[in-house]
């Protein structure tokens, strides 16, 4: 089902335009097109020619032939459809349907052909759509240009204001002592402006420096992009035509079976092929407590943000086990605030630390093994400014010596946790080759595309609560190496939340088996 080429030939056999959609050599396509006029018979009432290897489907348009070259297995009905569409497009782009007209608009024709056939496959388009695609009128682009223009204007205003302020303060400072700091500030704003003007006169945005204005534009455009994810999940329509239900098909299948064809009635996809989950829970009840860390540390020490968010989720495999309550133990950490799901009985939790539904007759929702999320029961949050709560601190010291910058980094982990799979990513200036690592505890990897040096330590426990590395790069500003981001996981929690027991509400039998997991992961852990 492949269109090899779409071409326009004159009746005398001259190739005017030809667009190929699969790889083929020039000699081959020229040969095929040269053979065509000889193969076209006169007085035939059909418009296709087959040779040993290819099929030509054509349509005469005044003094021209519009021609599709396809392989012989190609679906003629589809090809005719394509040809029909192309034949409507040709007059749209060529005002006179003769050699001259085609040659004059050859490129426009090629662009239009491209919209109709993609890699040899027909696209589902109409003439109007093709015209629209070729015109390339984009609302978003106009909007973008408007925004860009207004930003530029705004920045100019700000710049003017700032400049006058600075001038003012300069005059003020000059009256008193010398203000080197301020003069530096003014210089910075000027550069930002020149940067801006360059990028606006150039090809557009996105390649500018990382200064204020451009980031603003970026954030705007991402917002507008993300406004409406049109590729939202389709609501599953379960009520489609059911296979194998109608009498006729059944008869057909039966007779096929009788003739020795093997028919598999219920086709189930082989599971597990594309599943992302590694381990599906096998216990009937699983409770997962997870805490996510959002930490921002300052590069010269101190915390600017420390935030832990935790969830406890419940997953039940079989509906029979769904009538239960969960008895939990909290670590008694006073900084932690717990919040239950609206459907849970608040009093029960406040008084007895038991998680149960308000309506004891309702079961918990159940889900299959593949469903990762489970049902959230409990959420908690902890914020702190206490430096001792931070599980891992990073110290980064870039120092310039001669023609090189030496960067030494050390980490220090608190004794609270054993950290696994620690990865510390240090941004580097754009480099030609990997940096020179002089000394390291653990392993390193250089990601050239993002120019990031990744320092990974598989496990931090009591044996290596602190460690360091040192690497050399060409001279660079120390700010380049920040923000450093860190990823790790641990199996103990800040909240020390534990599930003590599962209380079955119905049947009164032995408590069902359950498993619990605890997981601490980093969501956003940065040194800025």
Question: Looking only at residues 89 through 118 of this chain, which bind another protein when binding is defined by CB under 8 A?
Answer: 99, 102-103, 106-107, 110-111, 114, 118
Q: Which two tokens stand for residue 79?
A: 């090809």
Give the span between the Cα atoms of 28 and 18, in whole angstroms. Answer: 13
* CA distance linking residue 315 with residue 514, whole number of Å: 10
**Residue 196 makes contact with another protein by CB under 8 A:** no
Instruction: Candidates 262, 278, 415, 430: give the one binding another protein (CB under 8 A).
Output: 262
- Selected from 247, 273, 401, 462, the binder of another protein by CB under 8 A is 273
203 binds another protein (CB under 8 A): yes
**Inter-residue contact 500 to 327 (CB < 8 Å):** yes
User: Which of 12, 42, 247, 274 contacts another protein by CB under 8 A?
Assistant: 274
41: exposed, middle or buried (Cβ count in 10 Å: 0-12, 13-18, 19+) = exposed
- Choose, by CB under 8 A, the member of 11, 62, 78, 313 that binds another protein: 78
Task: Name the one range near another protein by CB under 8 A: 46-54, 348-356, 376-384, 435-443.
Answer: 46-54
Closest CA to 442 of 453, 429, 433: 453
Residue with Cβ nearer another protein (72 or 168): 72
As a whole number of angstroms, the distance between CA 252 and CA 237 comes to 27
Cβ proximity of 472 and 405 under 8 Å: yes
The residues, any chain, with a CB within 8 Å of residue 493's CB and separated by 6 or more, are: 289, 291, 310, 331, 518, 520
Specify the residue, 450 or 501, whose C-beta has the smaller distance to another protein.
450
Return the residue of 232, 278, 415, 510 that touches another protein, per CB under 8 A. 232
Residue of 180, 229, 342, 508 interacting with another protein (CB under 8 A): 229
Residue that has been written with the tokens 């390193």 in this structure: 444
CA-based end-to-end distance of the chain: 56
Interatomic CA distance for residues 322 and 107, integer angstroms? 67
When asked if residue 75 is in the footprint of another protein (CB under 8 A), the reply is yes
Burial pattern 309-322, b for ≥16 Cβ within 10 A else e, equals ebbbbbbbbeeebb
Binding of another protein by 39 (CB under 8 A): yes
241 binds another protein (CB under 8 A): yes
Say if residue 463 is exposed, middle or buried (CB neighbours under 10 Å; 0-12, 13-18, 19+): exposed
Given the rule CB under 8 A, which of 232-240, 344-352, 508-516, 520-528 is the region that contacts another protein?
232-240
Q: Nearest distance from residue 54's CB to another protein, in Å?
A: 5
Opening angle at CA 210, ends 206 and 216, nearest 5: 70
How many residues of this chain interact with another protein, rule: CB under 8 A? Answer: 110
Instruction: Check binding of 242 to another protein (CB under 8 A).
Output: yes
Among 180, 260, 342, 509, binds another protein (CB under 8 A): 260
447 binds another protein (CB under 8 A): no
CB 368 within 8 A of CB 317: yes
Binding another protein by CB under 8 A: which of 185, 188, 194, 256? 256
278 binds another protein per the rule CB under 8 A: no
Rounded to 10 degrees, what is the CA torsion of 254, 256, 258, 263?
Answer: -80
Scanning the structure block, which residue is given the tokens 């192309």? 86
Q: How far is the CB of 100 from another protein (least distance, A)?
A: 9
Q: Which of 1, 2, 112 is nearest to 66 (CA)?
A: 112
Select 202 or 365, whichever has its Cβ closest to another protein: 202
Please tell me whether residue 27 binds another protein under the rule CB under 8 A: yes
Contact predicate 523/307, CB 8 Å? no
Contact predicate 249/243, CB 8 Å: yes
Q: How far is the CB of 68 from another protein (least distance, A)?
A: 11
Applying CB under 8 A, which part among 60-68, 141-149, 292-300, 491-499 lies near another protein? 141-149
Site for another protein in 314-373 (CB under 8 A): none
Select from 177, 237, 361, 433 the one that contacts another protein (CB under 8 A). 237
Q: Return the number of the residue (252 or 491) whose C-beta is nearest another protein.
A: 252
Q: Can you list the positions of beta strands (E) in 428-513? A: 436-440, 443-447, 452-460, 466-473, 484-490, 498-504
Q: Does 300 bind another protein (CB under 8 A)?
A: no
| Helix residue ranges per DSSP H, 326-482 | 346-352
- Of 18, 214, 405, 522, the residue at the interface with another protein (CB under 8 A) is 18
Please identify, among the stretches 133-141, 151-159, 290-298, 506-514, the one whose residues bind another protein according to the rule CB under 8 A. 133-141
Inter-residue contact 516 to 286 (CB < 8 Å): yes
Is the bond into 355 cis (omega within 30 degrees of 0)?
no
Binding of another protein by 513 (CB under 8 A): no
**Pick from 12, 42, 73, 463: which binds another protein (CB under 8 A)?**
73
76 binds another protein (CB under 8 A): yes
**Which one of 60, 126, 140, 399 is in contact with another protein (CB under 8 A)?**
140
Contact between 430 and another protein (CB under 8 A)? Answer: no
Q: Which of 61, 92, 97, 123 binds another protein (CB under 8 A)?
A: 123
Contacts to another protein from residues 375-414, by CB under 8 A: none
**264 part of the interface to another protein, by CB under 8 A:** yes
Instruction: Closer to another protein by CB, 38 or 175: give it.
Output: 38
Q: Is 261 in the site for another protein (CB under 8 A)?
A: yes
């Amino acid at each position: 089902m492949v269109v090899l080429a779409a071409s326009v030939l004159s009746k005398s056999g001259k190739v005017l335009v030809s667009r190929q959609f699969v790889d083929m050599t020039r000699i081959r396509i020229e040969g095929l097109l040269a053979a065509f006029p000889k193969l076209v018979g006169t007085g035939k009432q059909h418009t296709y020619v087959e040779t040993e290897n290819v099929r030509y489907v054509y349509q005469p348009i005044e003094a021209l032939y519009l021609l599709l070259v396809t392989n012989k297995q190609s679906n003629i009905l589809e090809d005719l459809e394509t040809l029909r569409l192309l034949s409507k497009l040709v007059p749209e782009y060529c005002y006179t349907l003769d050699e001259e007209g085609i040659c004059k608009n050859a490129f426009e024709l090629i662009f239009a052909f491209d919209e109709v056939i993609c890699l040899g496959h027909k696209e589902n388009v109409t003439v109007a759509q093709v015209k629209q695609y070729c015109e390339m009128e984009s609302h978003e682009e106009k909007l973008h240009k408007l925004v860009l223009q207004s930003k530029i204007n705004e920045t100019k205003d700000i710049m003017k204001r700032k400049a006058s302020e600075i001038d003012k303060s300069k005059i003020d400072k000059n009256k008193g002592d010398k203000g080197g700091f301020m003069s530096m500030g003014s210089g910075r704003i000027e550069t930002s402006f020149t940067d801006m003007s360059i990028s606006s006169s150039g090809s557009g945005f996105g390649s500018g420096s990382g200064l204020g204005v451009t980031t603003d534009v970026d954030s705007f455009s991402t917002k507008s992009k993300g406004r409406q994810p049109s590729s939202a999940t389709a609501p599953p329509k379960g009520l489609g035509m059911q296979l194998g239900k109608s009498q006729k098909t059944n008869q057909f299948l039966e007779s096929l079976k009788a003739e020795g064809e093997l028919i598999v009635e219920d086709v189930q996809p082989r599971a597990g092929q594309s599943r992302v989950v590694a381990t599906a829970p096998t216990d009937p009840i699983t409770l997962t407590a997870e805490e996510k860390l959002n930490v921002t540390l300052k590069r010269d020490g101190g915390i600017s943000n420390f935030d832990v968010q935790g969830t406890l989720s419940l997953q039940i495999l079989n509906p029979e086990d769904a009538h239960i309550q969960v008895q939990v133990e909290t670590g008694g950490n006073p900084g932690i605030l717990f919040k239950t799901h609206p459907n849970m009985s608040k009093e029960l939790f406040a008084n007895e630390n038991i998680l149960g539904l308000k309506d004891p007759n309702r079961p918990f929702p159940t889900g299959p093994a593949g469903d990762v999320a489970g049902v959230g029961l409990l959420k908690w949050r902890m914020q702190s400014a206490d430096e001792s709560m931070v599980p891992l601190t990073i110290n980064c010291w870039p120092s310039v010596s001669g023609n090189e910058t030496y960067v030494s980094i050390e980490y220090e982990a608190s004794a609270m946790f054993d950290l696994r799979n620690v990865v510390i990513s240090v941004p580097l200036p754009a480099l030609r080759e990997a940096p020179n690592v002089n000394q390291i505890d653990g392993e390193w990897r250089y990601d050239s595309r993002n120019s990031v040096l990744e320092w990974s330590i598989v496990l931090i426990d009591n044996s290596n609560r602190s460690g360091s590395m040192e690497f050399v790069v060409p001279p660079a500003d120390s700010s380049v190496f920040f923000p450093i981001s860190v990823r790790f996981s641990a199996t103990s929690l800040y909240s020390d939340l534990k599930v003590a027991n599962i209380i079955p509400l119905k049947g009164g039998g032995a408590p069902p088996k359950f498993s619990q997991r605890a997981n601490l992961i980093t969501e956003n852990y940065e040194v800025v």
